[in-house]
Amino acid sequence: MFDALAERLEDTWKKLRGQGKISQSNIQEALQEVRKALLEADVNFQVVKSFVAEVEKNALGAEVISGVNPQQQFIKIVYDELVKVMGESNAPLAEADKPPRVVLMAGLQGAGKTTATAKLALYLQKQKRSCLMVATDVYRPAAIQQLITLGTQISVPVFELGTGANPVDIARQGLEEAKNKGIDTVIIDTAGRLQIDQEMMAELAQVKDAVNPDEVLLVVDSMTGQEAANVTRSFHEEIGITGAILTKMDGDSRGGAALSIRTISGQPIKFIGVGEKVEALEPFYPDRMASRILN
């Protein structure tokens, strides 16, 4: 495991060898390599800075373990810190005090929000939880149709009022419908813009206030690199997220966005999207992501 990082650190190790102990002076080059590896994995540069500072502190404070060479020990410290920051174990979807549970999906256009709405509905349906998907993206008629098509495909009902209604009213009425029908989980798909704008945020905040969600999941495209950090910061400051779904992890992204999202919002990544198909959703595991980021 972590062959790539070990290889990178080869030259640095030569200098460390024989010194037996990690010290302030001999660790700097190794930290520099970790910094580069994380930046290449698209972790936000400010996040990299604070992460590397923490690794340095941990490495300098580490007891030398007999039988383990300083290289192995250093890599383990980096790995352990990554897992720790990303949340140790898988964080399940929050439950509601009383049904229906309300999940609000947020994110930029193209991030994979509508697809993730259907993926999540299918995932929950397989656990015998009934779902209703609510289409509030009145700005793109295609978005409503897309949700209806996905709903038909997975046999999950969709609540919509066309493009003429107000998103807040649609969300509110969708929730009522779920209550009346005894549905377990309502997943509300919202409008996204290509870029963050105030109007979009204000509307999203209104929808949130109207339905008082148990989860606000930010859907982030893992391929957007450094931008994932800005998106997370804006959404978290403006509406407050409770978790995230990192999409398009079937591509060649190393997943550094996961570390950025978690560090910036303090909220866990709950799922990853691993394909265009509606079945392509998996729970997020911090240890697996740590390995991917380091390799």
Residues at the interface with ligand GDP (CB under 6 A): 107, 109-115, 192, 219, 247-248, 250, 273-276, 280
Q: Is 242 annotated as a binding residue?
A: no
Q: Which is nearer to ligand GDP, 78 or 281 (CB)?
A: 281
Residue 9, CA distances (Å) to 37, 54, 78, 246 in order: 10, 19, 12, 29
Output the DSSP codes for 258-278: HHHHHHHH---EEEEE-SSST
Q: Is 17 assigned to a binding site?
A: no
CA distance linking residue 26 with residue 212, whole number of Å: 52
> Is 250 annotated to bind ligand?
yes
Cα separations (Å) of 279 from 12, 67, 116, 140, 229?
Answer: 44, 45, 10, 24, 27
Closest distance of CB 142 from ligand GDP, Å: 9
Beta carbon nearer to ligand GDP, 19 or 195: 195
Least distance to ligand GDP, CB of residue 245, Å: 9
Residue 108 marked as a ligand binder: yes
**8 annotated binding-site participant:** no
Specify the residue, 107 or 268, whose C-beta has the smaller distance to ligand GDP. Answer: 107
Strands 269-273 and 281-283, how do they pair? antiparallel
Q: Which is nearer to ligand GDP, 157 or 275 (CB)?
A: 275
The answer to whether 208 and 216 are in contact (CB under 8 A) is: yes
Annotated binding site for GTP: 107-114, 189-193, 247-250
User: Which residues are known binding-site members?
Assistant: 107-114, 189-193, 247-250
